[in-house]
Amino acid sequence: MASMIFTDCSSSTTKARLLPFSRILLLRRRAAGVTLVRRLATLPNSSSRRPLTLRSSHSQSAYVTGIFSLATEKSATAEVIDGKAVAKQIRDEISAEVMRMKDAIGEVPGLAVIIVGNRKDSATYVRNKRKACESVGINSFEVPLPEDSTEEEVIKFIKEFNDDPSVHGILVQLPLPSHMNEENILNAVSIEKDVDGFHPLNIGHLAMRGREPMFVPCTPKGCIELLHRYGIDIKGKRAVVIGRSNIVGTPASQLLQREDATVTIVHSRTSNPEEITRQADIIISAVGKPNMVRGSWIKPGAVVIDVGINPVEDAKSPRGYRLVGDVCYDEAKNIASAITPVPGGVGPMTIAMLLSNTLISAKRAYNFQ
Amino acid sequence: MASMIFTDCSSSTTKARLLPFSRILLLRRRAAGVTLVRRLATLPNSSSRRPLTLRSSHSQSAYVTGIFSLATEKSATAEVIDGKAVAKQIRDEISAEVMRMKDAIGEVPGLAVIIVGNRKDSATYVRNKRKACESVGINSFEVPLPEDSTEEEVIKFIKEFNDDPSVHGILVQLPLPSHMNEENILNAVSIEKDVDGFHPLNIGHLAMRGREPMFVPCTPKGCIELLHRYGIDIKGKRAVVIGRSNIVGTPASQLLQREDATVTIVHSRTSNPEEITRQADIIISAVGKPNMVRGSWIKPGAVVIDVGINPVEDAKSPRGYRLVGDVCYDEAKNIASAITPVPGGVGPMTIAMLLSNTLISAKRAYNFQ
């Protein structure tokens, strides 16, 4: 996560910022609950791709306009891509599949998480994963290890989980203490149980035509899933991925290309990022810089998937900060045709995709269709 | 290789085509021998990157202008990137390194090639590889197997070479007979000896930041080496790779990105390839379509690396055909600042890079610096 800084879209100091953040969220949640979830409930299950064709259905988006007319006192044009509602639907689908598996073969998927040390944020992430597992019926196994554990001790636990047939996914919560070699530890995870999808062999298969990865990394998989579920065409489109990290940017660009987009990766050495990004029909931003992507970077009608979750100072928030994306939302929402909010966009999708990967792994292990 | 078709840049029927092909080649070879090789001979060894700064030295390129004023009766603007001369220099450097290794530790690199069946083109490629090995002092081992061999028999030989410490690179000549599973066979090659660099784990490492592949695939490595040796800046440049094959397009895009270019891959589903390609400072084309990239696709001053080697009908050639690239050379040479010819551009670099990878592998095996 980027260090906390104060920043905002300087040209867009709208009334939205004066409205307490929790109220906007509340409204959004309510609207999503009423309108979007009802629409999502009519979908077939997640295995069918592009179940919805919402992109051009702006006339149906009264709930979006509704929220933002309250918030900004002018109507917004972008469809809000509600990651929270989609993630909930996916979790419901996974839950049903886990139950079907249990009924048929008496087994459920299992996810093991190893956490080293006492970082508060890591503890929160691990707790959220455990809760998410419980909510869909996936068994979760947790190994908390002291900060001064050795690399060998961590690898010993990984190997036990590698050999344990009731475990189908193994996660090592990052970051690890600085005395450990992250690459050595991650490489110890069996490729069949690497539900994070970070193994180089997975990335290689993802990059290659005619090959299939065992697992697709969760966050980029979540981005593509949002595009699918909102019926947004990828084939033949120009796509720009901002950021080239191993865990989001690179695999996101590979996934877009597998679906026949024409992809450009914009990064810190790109000399004219604004000009290139403005050519994109689909933008996925994953750089961790608050409000970096301004309205002027976005082609009218483009779809914006904002992976950034950046804390910025906010004296009005009880916590003293609030979370914003890489994209200047207030500017973008008037230009894009669809956009993910932060929070509530890509964020909730990551854990949903982790559960999805764990289910896929268990189905493969038990040869259960 | 694409099937043979008759095609040409329709708007560029210049006198160049009326001059016998062999004569142009002869002139080019002579010019390269006199002028370019002399300049290359002043270079430090291959381990230093960007040894030359030729790009803006058009005034020195009298030999290029010389050839083309004979050929087309107008002066060309593009620097000709002479792959043949560069490949020769690299082979000389490898030869010196092999001798140094032999003197120091009494060992030389070894390359094993397995060829199944009687395809004439495959036999030619394998013979060329053997000759290239001989010319630099690398041992070559050849296993010719009958067309009706089984997958298991091929894999048995691969495994023997995997275990043989005098073999540092293993190649299986493609295509294999149709009754064999190519993926199974290639996966049997030990990653430490996969000098083709096609293993998914290599491709994964190539795609990831902070990871290093064991080997870089030969043809894309040759493209980048040409850019380096001609002092062409990559960092911060817009690059377009046309074609997304596993053996050229994809690894070429990864290599360009590792050097901080901003890369777009154009492919068969790209809706406006001409417009996108015209934005590139560096174009690498690897699609196998003769003369597909027209002059109008090229930004003035761009650098063009043409990987295509396509036979087109030519009644004036004794063989009945001649070889052309993906790029319409006659048009491109007046627009680009530098361009690889076909033949004599990327082609000779592929085998040079194979020798380079075999040397790297042997150095690693013997821990010889």
pLDDT one-digit tens code per residue, A72-110: 434 458 999 999 999 999 999 999 999 999 999 999 999
Q: B201 and A202: CB-CB below 8 Å?
A: no
Total domains in chain B come to 2
- Chain B residue with minimal CA distance to A245? B209
- Looking up tokens 């040479």 gives B333
Position A50, amino acid = R
Cα separation, A344 vs A80, in Å, equals 10
* Domain annotation covers residue B362: no
Position A45, amino acid = N
Position A160, amino acid = E
* Domain annotation covers residue A43: yes
Q: Which two tokens stand for residue B281?
A: 């400072």
Instruction: Answer for the pair B84, B95: CB distance below 8 angstroms, yes or no.
Output: no
Same domain, A227 and A143: no
Instruction: Answer for the pair A9, A317: CB distance below 8 angstroms, yes or no.
Output: no
Please list every residue in chain B whose beta carbon sits closer than 8 Å to the beta carbon of residue A200: 201, 204-205, 208, 211
Q: Domain of A292: which CATH number?
A: 3.40.50.720
Cα separation, A278 vs B260, in Å, equals 20
Q: pLDDT (tens digit, 9 = 90+) per residue, A132-166?
A: 999 999 999 999 999 999 999 999 999 999 999 99
Interface of B with A (CB under 8 A): 199-205, 207-211, 235-236, 238, 244-246, 250, 254, 257, 260, 262-267, 269-271, 276
SS3 call for B186: helix
Out of B209, B271, B276, name the one closest to residue A236 (CB): B271
Out of A203, A208, A266, name the one closest to residue B208 (CB): A203
Instruction: Answer for the pair B89, B43: CB distance below 8 angstroms, yes or no.
Output: yes
Q: Are strands A321-324 and A310-313 parallel, antiparallel or unpaired?
A: antiparallel
Q: Which two tokens stand for residue A41?
A: 């409930």
Same domain, B266 and B341: yes
Same domain, A272 and A326: yes
Mean pLDDT of the B80-106 span: 98
* Domain annotation covers residue B130: yes
Cα separation, B240 vs B303, in Å, equals 11
Measure Cα distances from A361 to A169, A170, A216, A228 in Å. Answer: 7, 11, 11, 22
Instruction: Answer for the pair A360, A352: CB distance below 8 angstroms, yes or no.
Output: no
* Domain annotation covers residue A99: no
Same domain, B199 and B234: no
Residue B140: pLDDT above 70? yes
Mean pLDDT of the A288-306 span: 98
CA distance A164 to chain B (A): 25
Mean pLDDT of the B286-297 span: 97
Closest CA to A12 of A242, A337, A324: A324
SS3 call for B290: coil
Measure Cα distances from B358 to A7, A91, B218, B342, B352 in Å. Answer: 52, 50, 11, 26, 10
Please list every residue in chain A whose beta carbon sits closer than 8 Å to the beta carbon of residue B236: 269-271
* Domain annotation covers residue A282: yes
Domain boundary among B139, B168, B203: B203
* Domain annotation covers residue B19: yes
pLDDT at A52: 34
- Chain B residue with minimal CA distance to A183? B211
CA distance A25 to chain B (A): 36
Q: Which segment of A3-7, A261-265, A275-279 scores lowest on mean pLDDT?
A: A3-7
Out of B205, B244, B260, name the one closest to residue A209 (CB): B244
| Test the B interface: residue of A267, A272, A282 with most B CBs within 10 Å | A267
Mean pLDDT of the B255-284 span: 98
Tell which phi-psi region holds residue A306, choosing left (phi > 0), alpha (psi between -120 and 50) or beta. Answer: beta
Same domain, B172 and B223: no
Same domain, B223 and B348: yes
Same domain, A159 and A267: no
Same domain, A154 and A117: yes
Rg (chain B; Cα; Å) = 21
Cα separation, B33 vs B39, in Å, equals 10
Cα separation, A348 vs A222, in Å, equals 9
ipTM above 0.95, yes or no: no
CA distance A134 to chain B (A): 33
Q: B204 and A209: CB-CB below 8 Å?
A: no
Catalytic, out of A82, A88, A194, A196: A196
DSSP type of residue A16: G
| Test the A interface: residue of B201, B202, B211 with most A CBs within 10 Å | B201
Q: Are strands B321-324 and B310-313 parallel, antiparallel or unpaired?
A: antiparallel
Out of A204, A270, A271, name the one closest to residue B202 (CB): A204
How many Cα atoms occupy the beta-carbon half-sphere of A187 within 13 Å?
11
Cα separation, B209 vs A216, in Å, equals 17
CA distance A13 to chain B (A): 33
Same domain, A277 and A361: no
Catalytic, out of A129, A193, A221, A237: A129
Same domain, B277 and B186: no
CA distance B251 to chain A (A): 9
Please list every residue in chain B whose beta carbon sits closer than 8 Å to the beta carbon of residue A199: 204
Q: Which two tokens stand for residue B308?
A: 């295509």
* Contacts (Cβ under 8 Å, ≥6 apart) of A100: none
Q: Has A173 been annotated as catalytic?
A: yes
Residue A329: pLDDT above 60? yes
Domain boundary among B178, B203, B228: B203
Closest CA to B284 of B364, B346, B236, B328: B346
Q: Domain of A177: which CATH number?
A: 3.40.50.10860
- Percentage with pLDDT > 70 across chain B: 80
Phi, psi of A139 (to 5 degrees): -70, 135
Q: Which two tokens stand for residue A66?
A: 């509704």
Position B363, amino acid = K
CA distance B213 to chain A (A): 10
Cα separation, B337 vs B334, in Å, equals 8
pLDDT at A76: 55
Tell me which residues of B are annotated as active site: 129, 173, 196
- Residue A147 neighbours by CB distance under 10 Å: 11
Give me chain A's average pLDDT, please. Answer: 85
- Looking up tokens 């994963």 gives A129
Element (H, E) at B352: helix B347-365
Q: pLDDT (tens digit, 9 = 90+) per residue, B201-231?
A: 999 999 999 999 999 999 999 999 999 999 9
Chains A, B: CB contacts under 8 A, how many?
Answer: 89
Q: Which two tokens stand for residue A127?
A: 């707790």
Q: How confident is the model at residue A8 (pLDDT cuts 50, 70, 90)?
A: low
Higher pLDDT, B26 or A199: A199
Domain boundary among B203, B235, B254: B203
Q: Angle at which helices B21-31 and B62-72 pack, to 10 degrees? A: 170
Same domain, B125 and B156: yes
Mean pLDDT of the A127-133 span: 97
Phi, psi of A77 (to 5 degrees): -100, -25
DSSP-assigned letters across all residues of A106-163:
S---EEEEEEES--HHHHHHHHHHHHHHHHHT-EEEEEEE-TT--HHHHHHHHHHHHH
DSSP type of residue B320: S
Q: A262 and B263: CB-CB below 8 Å?
A: no
Q: Which segment of A41-55, A289-303, B84-98, B174-188 scores lowest on mean pLDDT?
A: A41-55
| Test the B interface: residue of A269, A275, A277, A282 with most B CBs within 10 Å | A269
Instruction: Answer for the pair A283, A253: CB distance below 8 angstroms, yes or no.
Output: no
Residues paired with residue B242 on neighbouring β-strands, in sequence order: B266, B285
Element (H, E) at B115: strand B110-116
Q: Which two tokens stand for residue A68?
A: 């933002």
Please list every residue in chain B whose beta carbon sits closer than 8 Å to the beta carbon of residue A271: 236, 262
pLDDT at B358: 98
- Chain B residue with minimal CA distance to A273? B262
Nearest 5°: the CA angle B266, B270, B272 is: 100
Element (H, E) at B152: helix B151-163
* Domain annotation covers residue B176: yes
Q: B262 and A250: CB-CB below 8 Å?
A: no
* Domain annotation covers residue B101: no
Cα separation, A13 vs B284, in Å, equals 45
Burial grade of B165 (CB within 10 A; 0-12, 13-18, 19 or more)? exposed
Element (H, E) at B110: strand B110-116
| Test the A interface: residue of B202, B256, B270, B274 with most A CBs within 10 Å | B270
CA distance B320 to chain A (A): 35
- Which domain, by its residues, includes B331? 15-36+49-87+217-352
Residue B138: pLDDT above 90? yes
Nearest 5°: the CA angle B310, B316, B320 is: 50
Q: A250 and B201: CB-CB below 8 Å?
A: no
Please list every residue in chain A whose beta carbon sits closer than 8 Å to the beta carbon of residue B276: 238, 262
Distance from the Cα of residue A140 to its chain's centroid = 21
Mean pLDDT of the A40-53 span: 39
Instruction: Answer for the pair A292, A5: CB distance below 8 angstroms, yes or no.
Output: no
Burial grade of B52 (CB within 10 A; 0-12, 13-18, 19 or more)? middle
The answer to whether the bond into A220 is cis (omega within 30° of 0) is no
Q: B260 and A269: CB-CB below 8 Å?
A: yes
Same domain, B335 and B194: no
Instruction: Answer for the pair A174, A182: CB distance below 8 angstroms, yes or no.
Output: yes
pLDDT at A77: 86
Quote helix, strand, coil % in chain B, to nearest 5: 45, 15, 45
Terminal CA-to-CA distance of chain A, rounded, Å?
Answer: 38
Q: How confident is the model at residue B8 (pLDDT cuts 50, 70, 90)?
A: low
With b meaning 16 or more CB within 10 Å and e meaning fewer, what string describes B117-126?
Answer: bebeebeebb
Q: pLDDT (tens digit, 9 = 90+) per residue, B304-319?
A: 999 999 999 999 999 9
Cα separation, B316 vs A114, in Å, equals 71
pLDDT at B77: 86
CA distance B9 to chain A (A): 26
Mean pLDDT of the B21-38 span: 34
Q: A209 and B250: CB-CB below 8 Å?
A: yes
Please list every residue in chain B whose beta carbon sits closer than 8 Å to the beta carbon of residue A208: 200, 203, 246, 250
Higher pLDDT, B71 or A224: A224
- Looking up tokens 């001979």 gives B41
Q: B269 and A263: CB-CB below 8 Å?
A: no
Residue A124: pLDDT above 60? yes
